[in-house]
Every structure is written in C-alpha cells, then in structure tokens.
C-alpha cells in the first residue's frame, strides 16, 4: 500500500473510531443556542474551540466586529508555499419559531432511529461537527500536507450576513485559494449533487396605490381597490413573469421566483384599500443582472396594466446590502472540484452529478467579493429539513461528511493530490 493510500485509510479509521465523539459534539453544538436574529455565536464557538484543543489543535483564534459575533478560526499546516483550503460552516441558526410545532425542545438534541433532531442539526451544527472531525482525521493521518487547511466556523449567515464571512474577507483581509462550504447539499436525497453554483438573491417590493375613501360608496363612484388590484397583479406575475438569464445545464429550470413572499393591504374596515404591497423572492443565476431583472419586471407590469388598468404600481429592491447578491459558480475543472469528486467516489462509492445549490450561501462573500473559488455546498442532510420544526440529519450522513472532508483535504493538499 502506498503512503497516500495508507494516509487515507488512517483518516477513515480515525472517523470510524470517533463517530460517537462526532455525534456528541454535534449535540453539544445544538445545545448551545445561537439564533439569528438576535445573533450571538459565542456559546457554540466555545464548544468547538474546546473540542479542537482536545484534538490537539493550538492555532486557534476568534475574530469578529463585536464580542458576540464569534468567528472561530483554526489553522493547520505551515503552508510552505502551497495552497490554502478553507473548510467553512456557520454557527448561527434561524430562530426556532413556534415552539408548539416542535415535538421536543429544539435545543435538547435527541438521537432516535439513527437520526439527530434539534435546531441546527442540519443547518449547520451537525455539518460543523463533521468539519471538526474531518480536519482532525486528515491531521492525524500521517500525510504530509503541501499547504494549509483553515477551519472557519463563522457567524451571521442566517440574517444580515455582515458579521461573519463578510467581516473576515473585507475587514480582516482573510484570503485562500479555495473554499468548501459544508451546507446540506441534498434536495431529494442526501448527496444527490455536487453544487457548483450558489444562486444569488434579489428581493423586490411591489406597491399598488389605489383610492382611499369611505367604503360605503365604493359601488357608486369609480374606485381602485388597491388590495384587489395587487391580488390580480400577484397572480399575473406568477403566470407571466419570465426573467432573462443565460442558459445553464447545471440549473435547467432557471431562476426561482416566489411571488407573494409577504403580502399586506388596506388599513381598516370602512375604507376602500388605498394601498397594498407584496414582495418577490428571486433566486438568481450566474449572468443575471439587477438591470435586466428590472426591465423584465417593468415589461410584465406594463402588460398587466393593458389588461387590468387602474392604480399606480411602483417597485423597489429590498433587503439593504443584500437586495441584490450575484450568483457564483466554481469551474468544473477547478482542483477543489476534482478533489471533492475523487473523495465522493471513495467515500460514497459514486460521484454525484454536478448541480446547483438552490439557496444562497456565504459564497457571495468568499467568491463574489473576495474572488476565492468556492464550492457552495457539500454537506450532510436535506435542505428541505432546514428552517423547519423538528430539523434533523441522519447520523450516518454526518459520518460520511467527515470522511468526505478528510479525503478532500488529503486529495487537495496531499502529494499528488488535486491542487498539485
């Protein structure tokens, strides 16, 4: 057996020998609340920091614009002129929402029938635990790494996304040669694709101005019911809005538009609604632009008014700095993609087809702002099990994830690996 194969075998044995520790770490991270908003990742960052110390890592630091926005950084390997690979997961979660919808306390993790339940189990505290043990297994394998691995367990991905990766690349000047984000990549089944595209995001608020007046005479004088006209427009856009985009085989269905993500109108009984509004949630593709989207929207509204005249219709982008975030795409031939594909073939027994990540990720900062080629998602679990009550992930997928990360590190940074 060659030294390379021996190192990989040792890394896989390490994960198998520490599977209970990995699951226990995932549970401890779930127990450390970090809902965002309001946003405070200190508790899970400290859990992860202590575990990394126990595993023998000592190059640890915490960076953030404020103490409560904790970005935990662990570096391994001297670099020695080789490439730097970042393994990234976020430590914050969405708020739990309606607690009555949960079968159990979202911060009291439970493992039942091979499944870990709890807030963040899949998004992304389970994947963060897998990253820790993936790094530890690569470090313990005996392989000589020709470069450096940086584990970045970051803050503020789920809300404003300004105090996490954005802070690291814009304010702290963090740079690397490639980034792997451990977001759950399964949609219909675990590991059903290797996403190369991280879709962008655009939020649009559409307002309809009508005739605000006493409702008792609305059947006797001309009025424009803003709520009714907004409802017509909402359905029209659902049926007729088509957004221009460059074709891509990785995302053949094109951008996703959710019409009526929010909806409100009128002010009280006894009034004809004088105003109403709703929003569009648009998940964009590489090559799309805010200007072209605006032109497509204007054309659709003009067609609507030809059929349903009345009222004044205006729209604006919403979401502050994230009102428009461009999609990113890593090249299929990039060394990280080759390394991940090789690791998947070894660990999963197959190489999933290349595809896209339906939502947005911190690739908007790693690649979109800093220009670092980024694989936007390679993590355990199903995206549909995130942002919902009884969030869950299969334990075996956590174990597979740690093995995938270990072999990816060895393939990318090892002798004869993908980055050479």
Pairing of strands 324-325, 71-76: unpaired
Residue 416 has pLDDT above 50, yes or no: no
**What are the beta bridge partners of residue 330?**
none
H helical segments located in 327-374: 335-347, 363-366
Decide: helix, strand or coil at residue 361. coil
pLDDT at res. 356:
97
Q: Which residue has the tokens 């899949």?
A: 122
Structure token digits, residue 210: 């009508």
Which residues 6+ apart lie within 8 Å of 8 measured at CB?
141, 143, 346, 406, 407, 410
241-257 average pLDDT score: 94
Which letter, b or e, does each residue of 246-280 get, where b requires 16 or more Cβ atoms within 10 Å of its Cβ?
eebebbeebbebebbeeeebbeeeeebbbbbbbbb
Residues 5-59: tens digit of each pLDDT:
899 999 999 999 999 999 999 999 999 999 999 999 999 999 999 999 999 999 9
Residues 293-331: tens digit of each pLDDT:
999 999 999 999 999 999 999 999 998 777 899 999 999
- Is 91 within 8 Å of 72 (Cβ atoms)? yes
CA of 101: how far to CAs of 148, 263, 287, in Å? 44, 23, 40
- Is 111 within 8 Å of 54 (Cβ atoms)? no
CA of 67: how far to CAs of 49, 70, 343, 395, in Å? 15, 6, 37, 32
355-363 average pLDDT score: 95
Residue 419 has pLDDT above 70, yes or no: no
Using alpha carbons only, give the angle 169, 127, 374 rounded to the nearest 5 degrees.
35
98-112 average pLDDT score: 97
193-213 average pLDDT score: 96
Residue 383 has pLDDT above 80, yes or no: yes
The DSSP code sequence of 7-49 is: HHHHHHHHHHHTHHHHHHHHHHHHHS--BTTT---HHHHHHHH
d(CA 156, CA 305): 41
261-266 average pLDDT score: 95
pLDDT at res. 218:
86
pLDDT at res. 340:
98
Residue of 67, 64, 48, 205 whose CA lies nearest to 126: 48
Residues 273-291: tens digit of each pLDDT:
999 999 999 999 999 999 9
143-155 average pLDDT score: 96
Which residues 6+ apart lie within 8 Å of 232 measured at CB?
304, 308
Q: What is the pTM for the complete model shown? A: 0.93
180-184 average pLDDT score: 98
Determine what percent of the chain is predicted with pLDDT higher than 70.
98
pLDDT at res. 319:
81
pLDDT at res. 3:
84
pLDDT at res. 415:
53
Residue 283's CB is within 10 A of a number of other CB atoms, namely 20
- Mean residue pLDDT of the chain comes to 95
């Amino acid at each position: 057996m060659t030294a390379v194969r021996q190192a990989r075998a040792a890394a896989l044995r390490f994960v198998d020998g520490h599977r209970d520790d990995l699951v226990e770490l995932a549970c401890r991270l779930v127990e450390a609340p970090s809902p965002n908003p309001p946003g405070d990742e200190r508790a899970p960052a400290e859990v992860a920091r202590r575990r990394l110390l126990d595993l023998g890592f000592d190059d640890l630091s915490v960076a953030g614009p404020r103490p409560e926005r904790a970005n935990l950084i662990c570096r391994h390997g001297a670099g020695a002129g080789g490439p730097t690979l970042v393994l990234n997961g976020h430590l914050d979660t969405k708020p739990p929402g309606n607690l009555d919808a949960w079968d159990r306390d979202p911060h009291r993790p439970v493992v039942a029938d091979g499944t870990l339940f709890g807030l963040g189990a899949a998004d992304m505290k389970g994947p963060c635990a897998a990253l820790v043990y993936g790094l530890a297994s690569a470090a313990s394998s005996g392989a000589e790494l020709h470069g450096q691995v940086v584990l970045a367990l970051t803050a503020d991905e789920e809300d404003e996304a300004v105090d996490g990766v954005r802070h690291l690349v814009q304010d702290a000047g963090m740079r690397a040669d490639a980034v792997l984000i451990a977001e759950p990549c399964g949609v219909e089944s675990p590991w059903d694709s290797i996403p190369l595209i991280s879709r962008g995001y655009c939020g649009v608020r559409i307002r309809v101005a009508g005739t605000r007046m006493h409702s008792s005479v609305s059947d006797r004088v001309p009025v424009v019911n803003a709520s009714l006209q907004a409802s017509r427009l909402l359905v029209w856009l659902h049926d007729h809005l088509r957004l221009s985009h460059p074709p891509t085989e990785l995302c053949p269905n094109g951008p996703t538009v959710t019409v009526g993500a929010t909806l409100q109108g009128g002010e009280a009984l006894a009034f004809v609604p004088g105003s109403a509004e709703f929003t569009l949630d648009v998940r964009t593709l590489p090559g799309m632009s805010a200007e072209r989207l605006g032109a497509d929207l204007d054309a659709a509204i003009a067609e609507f008014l030809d059929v349903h005249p009345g009222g004044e219709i205006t729209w604006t982008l919403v979401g502050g700095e994230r009102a428009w975030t461009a999609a990113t795409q890593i090249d299929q031939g990039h060394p990280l993609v080759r390394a991940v594909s090789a690791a998947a073939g070894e660990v999963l027994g197959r190489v999933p087809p290349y595809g896209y990540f339906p939502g947005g990720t911190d690739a908007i900062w790693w690649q979109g702002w800093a220009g670092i080629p980024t694989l936007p998602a390679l993590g355990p679990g199903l995206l549909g099990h995130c942002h919902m009550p009884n969030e869950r992930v299969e334990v075996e997928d956590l174990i597979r994830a740690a093995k995938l990360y270990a072999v990816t590190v060895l393939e990318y940074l090892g002798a004869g690996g993908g980055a050479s």
